[in-house]
Amino acid sequence: MIVVHHLNNSRSQRILWMLEELGIPYEVKRYERDAATMLAPASLRAVHPLGKSPVISDGDLVLAESGAILEYLADTYGGGKFAPAPGTPDRLRYSYFMHYAEGSLMPPLLMKLVFSRIPQRVPFFLRPAAKAIAAGVEKNLLGPQLRNHLSFLESELSKRDWFAGDSFSAADVQMSFPLEGASARTGLGADYPRLAAFLDRIHARPAYKKAIERGGPYALLK
């Protein structure tokens, strides 16, 4: 049986979702973030040397990285349902968004989170300067980058219902986490109605709801 080494409020939630979409049995082994640092516990290093989540084990296989796990699950258990056929334009888009989610979209979101926390983590007398630096980075770097990304993604969903094509795929599972993060940290609002509708669609899926039940409370870090 597949075991998901699941960290609360993390990328591993989308692995649970994928497994629910596939309808195959799995076990959840839970890990909790350190309350002070919000980092994963050291016990995850016993599973994978990087000590990160998500990680799955499937027999003798131990596999980390969300994209690699989702591709493995879709290819091994999906029966062609959750990945477009090789050699098609949809398959190329599928591969693109499987890599884009973590390679391009997550870095500015993570930087936004880090810079938003800096002023509260420096001595009191340094906070005005830290706030000014964080505000400058947001205004001149992160804000424009994120708006560019979100505008691009909004345009993509004007051409099709899902990121890889007309059918739901593992690429949509992969894209869920950064878009949920963007919604939590910047808001999508009226500027990105198609992205907001995408989130509404995935949140309404029975498998998504079941994964939340299995994974426990899910609140993206802000």
Rounded CA Rg of the chain: 18
Map out the domains of the chain as residue ranges.
2-83+209-215, 89-205
| Helix boundaries (H) for 4-85 | 12-22, 66-77
Farthest CA pair distance, the chain: 59
**How does pLDDT run across 96-140, given as a tens digit for each residue?**
999 999 999 999 988 877 767 777 777 766 677 767 776 776 777
Which pLDDT value is given to residue 121? 72
89-205: CATH number: 1.20.1050.10
Q: Is the CB of residue 177 less than 8 Å from the CB of residue 97?
A: no
Tokens for 198, please give them.
């995408």
The beta-strand segments (E) located in the chain are 2-7, 26-31, 55-58, 61-64
Range name among 72-76, 87-91, 112-116 with the lowest pLDDT average? 112-116
DSSP string, 77-93: HSTTSSSPPTTSHHHHH
Architecture of 2-83+209-215 per CATH? 3-Layer(aba) Sandwich (3.40)
pLDDT confidence tier of residue 11, bands split at 50, 70 and 90: confident
Q: Is the CB of residue 62 less than 8 Å from the CB of residue 47?
A: yes
pLDDT at 44 over 80: no
pTM reported for the whole predicted model: 0.89
pLDDT at 2 over 90: yes
Scanning the structure block, which residue is given the tokens 């300067």?
A: 129
